[in-house]
């Protein structure tokens, strides 16, 4: 699976407004909704579900990255939004370090395999230090889109 198969580039937020976890989740879910990827009616429910899940166990996986995700019946396919923060967000990450990169993933309920394929892809590239560095250096949504499309074509940069 490629990034361009599940990342909604129109919803990218190159500089997140907030530095608080819950607000960042709201920003990203709203952005997906604005981009037409989520039903307006589902927005609040999704925000609540993502936050609830984060409260149970943080998805901050170290190295400044968090992967909040949830399944929701209103989506037909896996959809993701990317947000970047230069000041850092407190995501209660495992290494207690602020998070600079948030990949929010909303997956359909009846297709768990698709979700895992997206996760596998994210795991693979986030392992590359180069990729993390480039991503943090990108200045706007276009830079991020370029980088992800490049990764799709050449997974090892």
Partner 1 sequence: MYSNWVNIAMEIKKGIAVSPGISIARSMIIDSEDYRIPRREIKPSQRLVETQRIRNAFNDAIEELTRLGAQQDLAESGKIRDIFAVHLRLLRDRSLRKKITDLIHSELVTAEYAVSKVLREFAAHFSSVKDTYISERADDIYDIERRLLRQLLGKKREEVKGLSEEVAVIARELSPTQTAGFNKQFVKGIATDAGGRTSHTAIVARSLGIPAVVALEDLTEIVRGGDTVIIDGNRGIVIVNPDEETTLQYEKYSSEFLELEHKLDAIRAKPAVTRDGTRIAVFGNIEFPDEAEVVLQKGGEGIGLYRTEFLYLSSPTEPTEEQHYEAYAATVRFLRNRPVVIRTFDLGADKQTQSKRFAPEPNPFLGLRSIRFCLQNLMMFKTQLHAILRASLLGHVKIMFPLITNHQELMQAKMILRDVMEDLDDESIPYNRNIEVGIMIETPSAALTASTLARDTAFFSIGTNDLIQYTLAVDRGNELVSTLYSATDPAVIRLIRMVIQDANKAQIDVSVCGEMASEPDYIMMLLGLGIRTISITPPMIPEIKQIIRSVTIEDCNNVARKVLSMNSERHISSFLRSAARKILPEAF
Provide, rounded to whole angstroms, the least separation between the CB of residue 100 and partner 1.
15
d(Cα 69, Cα 107) in Å, to the nearest integer? 8
Any contact of residue 48 with partner 1 (CB under 8 A)?
no
- The single residue among 35, 42, 116, 141 that binds partner 1, judged by CB under 8 A, is 116
| Paired tokens of 69 | 């995700």
Using the minimum distance from each CB to partner 1, give the nearer residue, 57 or 76: 57
CA-based max dimension of the chain: 39
| Contact letters for partner 1, residues 124-153 (x by CB under 8 A) | x-----------------------------
Pairing label, strands 65-66, 99-107: parallel
- The single residue among 35, 42, 51, 61 that binds partner 1, judged by CB under 8 A, is 61
Any contact of residue 35 with partner 1 (CB under 8 A)?
no
d(Cα 67, Cα 58) in Å, to the nearest integer? 9
Any contact of residue 55 with partner 1 (CB under 8 A)?
no
Any contact of residue 67 with partner 1 (CB under 8 A)?
yes
Using the contact rule CB under 8 A, the part of the chain among 21-29, 31-39, 109-117, 129-137 near partner 1 is 109-117
- Helix axes of 40-56 and 21-34: crossing angle, nearest 10 degrees: 150
Task: Give me the residues paired with residue 103 across strands.
Answer: 82
Using the minimum distance from each CB to partner 1, give the nearer residue, 42 or 61: 61
How many residues interact with partner 1 (rule CB under 8 A)?
21
The SS3 call for residue 84 is: strand
Any contact of residue 14 with partner 1 (CB under 8 A)?
no
Q: Name every residue whose Cβ is closer than 8 Å to that of residue 32 and which is 6 or more positions away in sequence.
A: 8, 11, 38, 79, 81, 104, 106
Any contact of residue 57 with partner 1 (CB under 8 A)?
yes
């Amino acid at each position: 699976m490629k990034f361009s198969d599940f990342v909604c580039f129109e919803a990218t937020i190159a500089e997140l407004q907030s530095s608080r976890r819950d607000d960042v989740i709201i920003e990203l879910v709203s952005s997906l909704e604005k981009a037409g990827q989520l039903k307006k009616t589902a927005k609040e429910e999704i925000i609540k579900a993502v936050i609830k899940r984060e409260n149970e166990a943080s998805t901050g996986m170290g190295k400044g990255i968090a992967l909040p995700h949830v399944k929701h019946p209103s989506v037909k396919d896996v959809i993701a939004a990317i947000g970047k923060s230069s000041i850092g967000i407190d995501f209660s990450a495992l290494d207690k370090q602020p998070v600079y990169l948030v990949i929010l993933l909303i997956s359909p309920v009846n297709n768990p395999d698709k979700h895992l394929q997206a996760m596998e892809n994210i795991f693979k590239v986030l392992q590359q230090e180069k990729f993390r560095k480039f991503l943090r250096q990108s200045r706007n949504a276009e830079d991020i889109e370029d980088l992800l499309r490049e990764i799709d074509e050449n997974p090892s940069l």
